[in-house]
Structure 1
């Protein structure tokens, strides 16, 4: 009786996980299948397999969306933004933890409170203010904005992790003649690798796939990221669905590859964070 109950529980669990997996993977499979179809075939049979796997949509999308420029812009913006967020938020969190006082508590409270404000509430004053300062249409301005919007969550996550780091290691290094900067970069920062990896992947997924903020900042085609380039195929009166689907697949693949490479680090970071 107990064995049958266990088998039923295991079967129910696997069935439930299979259904959830299908629900999560279905949108991507739909995009992938339709990327090999013509526009007419997509409209007639969007849920069926393509009659012939035609790769012309990919070559057309690569040329028309200027894929190489979009990939370069997305890579530069994502890498520099994430690196800046990791460096500045880890240093800020370290300061707030090790020099704990009333002011540091107020700063942390302000950072946490800023996460409650939705970006949509800031869009109009954001564009108006920085437009008057001539800070739009620049990758470096966008990186600066990502640093401002991303540092709150990253600092909050680092803050909880750094509190678990023992002070004995730092005190021993200080007694050996190391400075505070050396202690942070050579002792504390390597210990923060699990949480740093988790924050990096969260921010890479956010920045790489972001459409709204780049659409407000990057005005010229030469500065556009991949999500902005894919919007080129959706016109006011018509949409080239097949080429658009191919462009979406090409824009998604780099971040999927990055996640597959880093997934072990994500699991390790979550587990170590839970243990701590």
Structure 2
């Protein structure tokens, strides 16, 4: 009995320590967002002498939060929609049409997933910049489709294989077209996978800094992560305002996570059981 209690206590202590280590950086960002710049530099782990919202006001105005938020929301929403649409239809085609080349296409897409973006970053900028295909939100969405479709297609492919063909055949006998069969019969059954893909891609695209930094140059089309770069100059940095800007960037995605918390857990569980 004592051994059981000791093991539970030890597990609780380890879990608490891991939680503290995980949450500590976020607490430091929040704490330092209320300090003055010199106070952050002098003692970043201390409690602010005076809690002031002035940093948040300066960050909101300097980073043009409203415009940056709309840009991030637009890019994230449209990117996730096009990734879900094209990857699900592509996966359905690869599963149901038994062409030899389909296996090769799937293998190439899986192989592309192991290539790190950093290894193709320089040629990416050189080639697409030469053709004038940068500095556009539409092109950024197109690039997110290109970099996100492989993983999404792979996930959909495994799920669609387990859907009985008889369901589709029954719909075709009733006069449904292939288009109708997919969107009225197959796609609703993909809800767990769609939820998982959508959530993972929202977290990825909303927080992404590297790809937008290469594609978006104009101030009026920058996303929220890019806008935080305003506070870091060549010789100095406004760390206190930058911390407030980071908190402003984190709040929308935290709200999204708490709203979708049930769907996240359910999607992972359903996908694992399937």
Q: What does residue 139 of structure 2 align with?
A: 141
* Preserved contact between residue 194 and residue 266 of structure 1 (Cα < 8 Å): no
Length-normalised TM-score, structure 2 = 0.97
Give the deviation of 1:133 after TM superposition.
Answer: 1.3
1:242 aligns with 2:245: no
Q: Which residue of structure 2 lines up, in the alignment, with residue 8 of structure 1?
A: 6
Matching of residue 88 in structure 1 with residue 53 in structure 2:
no
Q: Identify the residue that residue 29 of structure 2 maps to in structure 1.
A: 31
What is the distance in 2 between the residues matched to 1:161 and 1:24?
A: 33
Displacement over 3 Å in runs of 4+: none
Q: After superposition, give the CA deviation of every residue in 1:83-137 in whole Å (9 maximum; x if it has no partner).
A: 1000000010111111233211100000001111111111111111111211111
Which segment drifts farther, 95-104 or 80-89? Answer: 95-104
Task: Output the TM-score relative to the length of structure 1.
Answer: 0.97
**Runs of 5+ consecutive residues of structure 2 not aligned to the other structure:** none
Equivalent of residue 117 in structure 1, options 115, 118, 132: 115
- The aligned residue for residue 190 of structure 1 is 188
Indicate the larger mover: 97-106 or 233-242: 97-106
**Aligned residue pair count:** 274
Q: Is the 8 A contact 1:96 1:105 kept in 2?
A: yes
Aligned-CA RMSD value: 1.0
Using the alignment, how far apart are the partners of 1:190 and 1:259 within structure 2?
23
Instruction: Note closer, same or farther for the CA distance 1:24–1:100 as it changes in structure 2 (3 Å cut).
Output: farther
CA–CA separation in structure 2 for the residues paired with 1:30 and 1:89 = 39
SS in 1 for 2:260: helix
